[in-house]
Amino acid sequence: MSALTFRWARLHDLTAPEWHSALAAREAVFIVEQNCPYQDADALDVHSWHLLGSMDGTLAAYLRVVDPGRKSVHAGAFYAEPSIGRVLTAAACRGKGFGRHLMREGIAGCERLFPGQGIRISAQSYLLAFYRTFGFVAIGDEYDEDGIPHFEMQRD
């Protein structure tokens, strides 16, 4: 098995095939697998760093880091910190530790791009323990986002 290789890029720096692979993976996981119809491609994609993890030339994992002050949360408030989201591992690549590798690279990228700002996420509730292993702490009460229970989490 080959190692996971990463590419960080802004939307305008991604090739059409790279962006297509990212969107197809996001739709497969967040819309089809989770049976959750919602608008996945959104205005935040333009204000994000996209992290693509590939293995043997195929997208295996993905996340995006939304710029500070752009991610809207409850009632029009915005995260002051960068926000990691759309974290996924392609179905064929699960069980290999790629999710952990992806999150480590995502956190390191946030620290390079936005030093000293911390990181905030909106985590699906069943993944709280996973995100806690990276130093994230739940803030506030559980809430519903697109029919799926979530917690806001922060990492200083």
pLDDT score, position 33: 87
The C-alpha angle 20, 26, 30, rounded to 5 degrees, equals 155
Residue 16 contacts by C-beta under 8 Å, 6 or more apart in sequence? none
**pLDDT score at 74:** 66
Taking only the tens place, the pLDDT of each residue in 13-36 is: 999 999 999 999 999 999 998 888
Q: State which fold the 5-118 domain adopts.
A: Aminopeptidase (3.40.630)
pLDDT tens-digit readout, 34-64? 888 888 899 999 999 999 999 999 999 999 9
Is residue 1 over pLDDT 60? no
